[in-house]
Amino acid sequence: MHGRSVDKRMNWLLDILIVAIVIVGALFLWNIPKYSRQTLFYVYDSQDDTNYRIPGIVALDDGTVVAYCEKRQGASDWADICIACRVSKDRGASWSREMILAGDSDTGTYNNPIMIADQQGTLHCLYCKEYGLEEKDGGVYHIMSSDGGLTWSAPENISECTLPSYRNAFALGPGHGICLDDGTLLVGVWMVPKEYGAELESHAPSVISTLYSKDGGENWELGEILEGTEAIKSPSEAALVQLADGKVLLNVRNVGEEKYRAVAVSPDGISGWSRLALDEDLPDPTCMAGMARYDDSTILFVNAANQSARNDMTVRMSRDDGASWNTGKVLISSDGGYADINVGNKFPRKMIYVLAEEHDANGKFMLVLYSFTKNWL
């Protein structure tokens, strides 16, 4: 009888030991940094003049990731351009074929796509035709997808809300927009006011604003316009993030002599902006940058962190709502350009995604996806 009791006790202890080993092993594997690199948009033919540029990326809670960009026939901002995307339903492990969202059966410039995931998981995509210039039969358009980017609604022209009588060229983002806690859809925009006297197709001198919807994309309005300052010239290409207190941080491209990103804060992302100021934690060569919230205490930022060339593509973290940034980790040292960053929240592990421009062996732009966990940084 006593022997059987000892056997039961030993079996019980052995079971506990096995469970403990499994838990420790799982925790060990959980803490191994994950990292991968995939080329998502590229051309095979060295004679093909296609350049993939102006990246954006969004992630849904069900594991869907959508990568999108401009597919240019040539390098010019005014080349024949269409809007391309690819979709992953398994957190970036595999991808659909390239799909064309706009410009497939037309020539002209379809530019600056930007996507937002709303609180119901619907994707909203906005893009421009001919930088919104009415003189070139251009406009600004909105489409929606309820199946994670596999199919899209017919385009709706929302140009009227972008002040076509006030401005010449107009562009969205680039990168991705955000959905605020109250459901507001918000994207950064830049435009060239007619009163500045620039040529019709000029991208400068520019001002910035936000475009927002309070009703799930049914209607769109333009927010307060921010002009440059003595130090911050021709602000454009803004990234957005909502701060812990509900305010919105705007992070802006700057062509002034001091090569840093510029920032401003608004109580709602629409109006009441603080004066644009340089962020000396964020050196920049005058280029696009991406920004995204990781969790309640951490914001992520990516840009070419070199003040003289589009090199040193670096991912940084802020643990104080953008008041300061760490030194970060370099993703791409000798090549780079535009990049966007976003976070996939699907259980059991968050993934960080960076879609970045690089050059292929023939000198054309391709887009490369970097996927990694926070502990890789």
DSSP states along 296-357: TTEEEEEEE--SSSS--EEEEEESSTTS-----EEEESS----EEEEEE--TT--EEEEEEE
Q: What is the CATH number of the domain that holds 278?
A: 2.120.10.10
- Residue 26 is predicted with a pLDDT of 46
Q: Would you put residue 15 in left (φ > 0), alpha (ψ -120 to 50) or beta?
A: alpha
CA 190, chain centre distance (Å): 16
- Residue 223 is predicted with a pLDDT of 98
- Exposed, middle or buried: residue 67 (CB in 10 Å: 0-12, 13-18, 19+)? buried
Structure confidence by residue, pLDDT tens digits, 261-287: 999 999 999 999 999 999 999 999 999
3-state secondary structure of 237: strand
Residue 175 has pLDDT above 80, yes or no: yes
Tokens (6 digits) for 175: 């990168």
What are the backbone dihedrals phi and psi of residue 152, each rounded to the nearest 5 degrees, phi first? -135, 155
> Do residues 225 and 194 share a domain?
yes
- The number of distinct structural domains making up the chain is 2
> Do residues 49 and 88 share a domain?
yes
User: Percentage of the chain with pLDDT > 90?
Assistant: 84
> Do residues 7 and 95 share a domain?
no
pTM of the model: 0.92
The predicted model gives 337-365 an average pLDDT of 92
More confidently predicted of 4 and 196:
196
The predicted model gives 324-344 an average pLDDT of 94
What mean pLDDT value characterizes the chain?
Answer: 92
- Residue 31 is predicted with a pLDDT of 55
17 falls in which pLDDT band (50, 70, 90)? low
> Do residues 26 and 82 share a domain?
no
> Do residues 211 and 160 share a domain?
yes
> Do residues 108 and 15 share a domain?
no
Residue 5 has pLDDT above 80, yes or no: no
28 falls in which pLDDT band (50, 70, 90)? very low
- Residue 10 is predicted with a pLDDT of 63
> Do residues 22 and 134 share a domain?
no
- Residue 191 is predicted with a pLDDT of 98
> Do residues 19 and 146 share a domain?
no
- Residue 346 is predicted with a pLDDT of 78
> Do residues 5 and 75 share a domain?
no
> Do residues 151 and 7 share a domain?
no
> Do residues 96 and 235 share a domain?
yes
29 falls in which pLDDT band (50, 70, 90)? very low
Residue 97 has pLDDT above 70, yes or no: yes
What are the C-alpha distances in Å from 242 to residues 175, 176, 187?
15, 13, 12
Structure confidence by residue, pLDDT tens digits, 225-263: 999 999 999 999 999 999 999 999 999 999 999 999 999
Domain residues for 236?
36-376
Residue 137 has pLDDT above 60, yes or no: yes
> Do residues 358 and 269 share a domain?
yes
The predicted model gives 87-106 an average pLDDT of 93
